[in-house]
Structure 1
Amino acid sequence: MTAYVLVGEAFTGGWLWDEVAGRLRGAGAEVHAATLPAGPGTDLEDHVRHVVRLVDGAAAGRVVLVGHGYGIHPVLGAADRRPERTARVVHVDAGMPQDGDPALKLVPDAAVRERLLAPGGGADPVAPPAAPGDWARWGSTEGVPADALERLTRLAVPQPPATLTAPLRLTGAAAKAPTTGVLCTANGAGIATVQGLVHLGDPRLQALAAPRVTFFELPTGHWPMLSAPADLADALRAAAAGGGHRLTPAGDGPPPHLRPFLLDVPERPRERHGSTDLYLPDGAAPERPAPAVVLVHGGPVPAGVAPTPRDWPAFTGYARYLAGLGAVAATVDHRLHDLGDYPRAADDVAAAVRLVRDDPRVDADRIALWFFSAGSLLAADWLAAPPPWLRCVAATYPLLAPLPAWGMDETRFRPAAAVGAAGRLPLVITRVERERPEIAATVAGFLARAADRGAAVEVVDVPGGQHGFETVDHTEEARKAVADAARRVVGHLRS
């Protein structure tokens, strides 16, 4: 018999898992759905001890521990104390907290984080969302039926503050336990995105490519036990049996972002100015200033990654190609190393733009900005208040709204909200057919908003293309798309 201990998100109890638990029991499993204590003075250690008692009380010798959102913290604490009883740890749309991390670090509701971090702010319980529509602050509610969302609101209880602020204490006893991640793509990253992060070489993520780690992906929001209970139950059963997708470790051949650019473009003179490189067209001189394109990479890119993005084949390839079309091309290493780094990355991009415009070989009144992937959130500043010298904004396989799990409540880095102020500024969007679902949804939302506001959007489609296609899809369609987008951008600089 397989035994499961199910621990839910903040504010919830065992009732959250009713449908999933019923399906698991129907398949012959032993199931214990936790209702964690919520009285005054309760802290994270109390929740860990509660889960340990459930593990100790299970009839099966070993238990699959399942943590959803906040619930992964007491689950990991219990696994650490009962490693011999832990068959597998399953993260359901949950983070990867380490020893010493408080749960607050992964809370997506920025208002809750700010309140509990303020002096004296951690004395009172954290109230659950007061209305069904407010649950989106804790993760996407996509797919959750209205009656289930109303029940969630009705049964939710306040969360003791010390459960969120107390550090998780782990000895490492269960560090090698089999692990599964159930990724909910309407709320955060999917498998392809996680694989890309592993390929970047971030040492914090290399353990995700271990053979003992598997992944499942559900096309739903943060509450799969309410929106897709059958699919979640199937994933939990498969996880218990050792199933799921396994990632490819970094170092097994060149990672996708370091493979050759899809176009054979000749070398061009390159100048390095701090964190910005300039690629110069033929004849560039102060007496014949050329228009310029600033290329802005995506991320987050972990600090210390080598080579840095401005030396990745895609960006050197684009820069050389644009220089061949007669524009100065600039690549910039900005400091988007974590999700909280968007403000300083925006400052880095603005500084690079000033450097480019100040160069006497550049026509300062003819500048384009070209954003890629999650770097496209940085386009919002320029769309909200486009300067007269900005002639075009381009974005390739862009992320055009923060993912719900990122907890970015501020409105600054939301291009869809800013596009209404862009007027007739030309926008060139390169869209790939095989886009990651979580990103494709943001592109669709942006294009709908842009059409509603009358923005001047041109879409370049890449049939069969995938995210980062310039180094992984060496097809004729992909080559045409790069050439088409580049010529559109340069054409707007000349018009």
Structure 2
Amino acid sequence: MTDFVMVAGAWLGAWAWDEVAAELRAAGHGAHPLTLSGLAEKRGLPAGQQTHVQDVVDEVERLGARDVVLVGHSYSGIPVGQAAERIGGRLKRVVFVDSNVPADGESFLSGWPSDHVRRAIAEHDGVLPPLGADGYAGQDLTDDQVARIVGGSTPHPGAALTEPAVLKRSLGELPATYVKCLLNGDEPMPAVAELLKGGNWELVTMDTGHWPMFSRPRELARILHEAAAGR
């Protein structure tokens, strides 16, 4: 049995993994969706990026698990990637689901035109408001799925997006799978493409949008199962 600790991207909580978690548990795994500080049922807790890294590390410690697959989606690839190097021999694999990846000294907003995001955070008392329904168009989601995402989203702590990552070694040294969702762009971002050259990372593609835990939960669960099995 593998223990999966799964973290969804900006605005989302543990609830986003309900269908994927059910599939993994049916296959005999431990599935542990995690809500980061400041989001969903933890809304209002002060949080920055390093708070989120510690949230993931603390969950692994709480579980006492030895064979852990960390799963980070979208924004959460950044704290999950940092947590992966901090849990040492407990890590079996890290899976990045159409996510950003951390770079030492760089924030989530580094390296792309993000002034509009910084303005939005400043204008909303330090949080980034969730997307509206229009933000999910063209991503293989039904109207009901979009309504569920929008209805469950909460503002994202701005400090988590602006604080720099802290890495002690190359992310490419970690055993990793990168899941690229093709409706969100045909190719992985340059930082990911570089990491894929190193030999420890594998690339898996999904013909769906950026939120596959909603659009293709069974397929995503199968990919996670195969990643844990080394297939």
Q: TM-score range by the shorter chain?
A: 0.7 to 0.9
- Check whether the contact 2:69–2:91 (CA below 8 A) recurs between aligned residues: yes
Tell me the C-alpha RMSD between the 2 structures. 2.5
Kindly tell me the number of residue pairs found equivalent between the two proteins. 226
Aligned amino acid, residue 149 of structure 2: L
Q: Does 1:84 align with 2:89?
A: yes
Gaps of 5+ in 2: 39-43
Q: Is the 8 A contact 1:214 1:239 kept in 2?
A: no
Among 47, 50, 57, the alignment partner of 1:45 is: 50
Q: Distance in 2 between matches of 1:229 and 1:236?
A: 10
CA contact (8 A) 1:41 1:162 kept: no
CA deviation profile, 1:220-261 (whole Å, cap 9, x unmatched) = 110011111111111111111222xxxxxxxxxxxxxxxxxx
Answering whether residue 211 of structure 2 is matched by residue 242 of structure 1, we say: no
For 1:110 and 1:227, locate their aligned partners in 2 and report how far apart those are by CA, in whole Å: 30
Larger radius of gyration: 1
1:85 offset after TM fit, Å?
1.3
Higher relative contact order (CA 8 A, sep 6+): 2
Tell me what 2:130 maps to: 128
Alpha-carbon offset, residue 181 of structure 1: 0.5
> Of 54, 58, 71, which aligns to 2:76?
71
Deviation for aligned residue 1:111: 3.0
Task: Kindly indicate whether the alpha-carbon contact (under 8 Å) linking 2:37 and 2:46 is maintained by their aligned counterparts in 1.
Answer: no
Q: Of the candidates 183, 204, 222, which is equivalent to residue 216 of structure 1?
A: 204
Instruction: Letter of the 2:134 partner, please give it.
Output: G
Q: Percent identity?
A: 37
Q: Secondary structure at the match of 1:216?
A: strand
TM-score normalised per structure 2: 0.88
- Opposite residue 162 of structure 1, the aligned amino acid is A
Q: Secondary structure at the match of 1:167?
A: coil
**Contact 1:122/1:161 (8 A) holds in 2:** no
Counterpart code for 1:6: M
Q: What per-residue deviation string (whole Å, max 9, x for no partner) do you get for residues 57-111 of structure 1?
A: 2353121011000011110121122122111111100123211111123788763
Does residue 1:170 correspond to 2:160, yes or no? no
Kept in 1, the 8 Å contact 2:11–2:153? The answer is yes
1:228 to 188, 202, 216: 216
Partner residue, 2:65:
60
Return the offset for 1:211: 2.8
- Cα deviation 1:355-381 (Å, max 9, x = unaligned): xxxxxxxxxxxxxxxxxxxxxxxxxxx
C-alpha separation in 2, matches of 1:107 and 1:11? 20
Task: Provide the TM-score with structure 1 as the length reference.
Answer: 0.43
Matches of 1:85 and 1:173 in 2, distance apart? 18
Contact 1:126 1:159 in 2 (8 A): yes
Deviation, 1:189, is: 2.5
In 2, are the aligned partners of 1:87 and 1:177 still within 8 Å (CA)?
Answer: no
- Segment drifting more, 100-109 vs 219-228: 100-109
Structure 2 counterpart SS, 1:100 = coil
